[in-house]
Each structure stands twice: as C-alpha cells, then as structure tokens.
Amino acid sequence: MRIRPGSALLASALLLSVSFLSNSFAAKPKEELQFGSVAMDIPAVMHKRLTPLIKYLSKELKRPVTLILSPDMGAAIDNTVKGNVDLAYLTPVAYLRAHDRGNARLIVKTVTNGKASFKLMIVVRENSPIRTVDQLAGKSFAFGDKKALLQRAAVVGAGMPLEKLGEYKFIGHYDNIVRAVMNGDFDAGILKDTMAYKWQGKGIRILYSTPDLPPYNIAASKNVDDETLSQLQKAFLKLNGKDPAHMAVIKALDKKYDGFARTSDAEYDVVRKLIEPFK
C-alpha cells in the first residue's frame, strides 16, 4: 500500500487526539477533604487524637483527608462557615453557630458510654444546706471553660440568672470543679453527667439536671455535596466498637466514646433554646 506524504504526521496527530480524549474521560483522582476541629487540647494532642480517624476516613473514602486544626472555637466556626474545611469536629454550640452563618450540615453525633446524649448538672457538697436552685442566689459558683457557653446557659435555664449569683469563676476542667465544691471553695458548680454520677454520694449531691442534650458532632461545610456527605456518614457509622481496629480509632478521639450515631438538626433545638438569652 502506498503511503501519501504527510500521512505519518496525520496518523500521529490522530493517535494523540484519541489519547487526549481517553485521558479526559479517565477517572481522575478525587480531591482531598480537609478535616477541621475545635481546639479542646493543645495542637499536638489534638493532632494525635484525630490522626487515626483521618487515616481511617482516607482509606474508606479512597481519597486523601488532611487535618487542619483551629486555634480556638471561633476559628473552627469560621473555617467551617467559609469552607476552609470540608468537615469538622464541633461542639453543639459551635455547630449551631456554623449552621446559622453558613448552613453547615450534620453528618453524625458522638456516642459516649452507650449514650448519644448528655446532661449538664448543677452540684453542691453532699452535706450542703442548699436544696433548690433558688437558694443559689448570693452563692459562689464554679464554671469550667469560659468559652463553654452551654454551661452558663444551663444555669440560666435552670432559673438562676448569673447576676443573682454571689460570684462565679471559670476554673478549667471538671476535675477542678469537683475538688473546689467538695473542699468548700465554691458553694456549687456545674458538671457533665458522667462526672456528676461518678462523685454522687462521695462528697457531691446533684441539685439540678438539664434535659438530654445532643453531644459533639461531625458537621459538613458548604463544600460537601450530598453524595460525599452520604459517603462520610456511612464511613462513620461503619466504625464498630466490637472491632479492635475500629475501637482504636474511636478511643483515640476520646476514651469515653463508643462510636457515632445518626442525628438531625432538630435534636439541637434544645440547645438553641438554652443559648437564646446569650445572643
């Protein structure tokens, strides 16, 4: 067969075109997902706690997931609202702030000691004469972290305006509150239910309990489409507490966690109501 001049060049061009089209329709590697978090510990500790989960999600989703830590809760909310991260580990209040400002959507909520909710409890010394919330007027009160708005909201929701307290201070971890109340440094304080139950009858008495409150959650930013959100939810719900490898991932995040559960925005209405006076 006779080859016309220039036909070799034409054939090469055709091959290049076919190759280009084939590559255009070939599956492209999926873009990485960026995982943010509220700052509950120093960055090095938060990195250690979240790294097993990051690796698990990367494997399950078959796409890279990278960790972006925020220095404080405000920054974590901003990063979620602005889409600087695709998903984030948030407190109930942080989620509501991000939802109101940037339409953040819930993926899952955490499960602690078999429960997918928690309560905040006002406690006093076991032998304290204080028997009702009204009797806290003029008394000293211990809160934990100043940024933990829900603690103050729980006290106000119980019927005790902060200005009616004699004084109140923020003294850090719940352990500090237990010791301070038991030692008589403060007349009362606020604890998470697990801590209150631990010390109930051992120097502490529970004066008041909130309704069940939704816990920490994983939320998606505006960047995440419905398909990716569904994939993320399946990956979190797949974590099985009976699987040692999965349990290592869960416990790295928090030793009290058992796993994750489905949730909805409506579950957070109780928190919305509590924090309404603080807007």
Average confidence (pLDDT) over 112-117: 92
pTM above 0.85, yes or no: no
pLDDT cut 90: percent of the chain above it: 79
Predicted pLDDT of residue 267: 97
Predicted pLDDT of residue 26: 35
59 and 175 assigned to the same domain: no
254 and 126 assigned to the same domain: no
Confidence check: pLDDT of 170 > 60: yes
125 and 196 assigned to the same domain: yes
**In-domain check, residue 66:** yes
DSSP states along 96-160: HHHHHHH--EEEEEEEETTBS-B-EEEEEETT-S--SGGGGBT-EEEES-TT-HHHHHHHHHTT-
* Residue where a domain terminates, one of 209, 226, 255: 209
Predicted pLDDT of residue 19: 33
The residues pairing with 69 across neighbouring beta strands, listed in sequence order, are 37
Number of domains in the chain: 2
Predicted pLDDT of residue 265: 97
Give residue-wise pLDDT tens across range 210-228.
999 999 999 999 999 999 9
| H/E run at residue 99 | helix 92-102
In Å, how far are 31, 188, 227, 233 from 26, measured between CA atoms? Answer: 15, 64, 20, 27
pLDDT higher for 16 or 80?
80
230 and 101 assigned to the same domain: yes
Domain that holds residue 237: 33-115+215-268
Predicted pLDDT of residue 30: 61
In this predicted structure, which of 13-27, 48-62, 80-94, 261-275 has the lowest mean pLDDT? Answer: 13-27
| The CA-based dihedral angle spanning residues 47, 268, 200, 128, taken in that order and rounded to the nearest 10 degrees | 120
98 and 41 assigned to the same domain: yes
Q: 70 and 38 in contact (C-beta within 8 Å)?
A: yes
Predicted pLDDT of residue 72: 86
**In-domain check, residue 274:** no
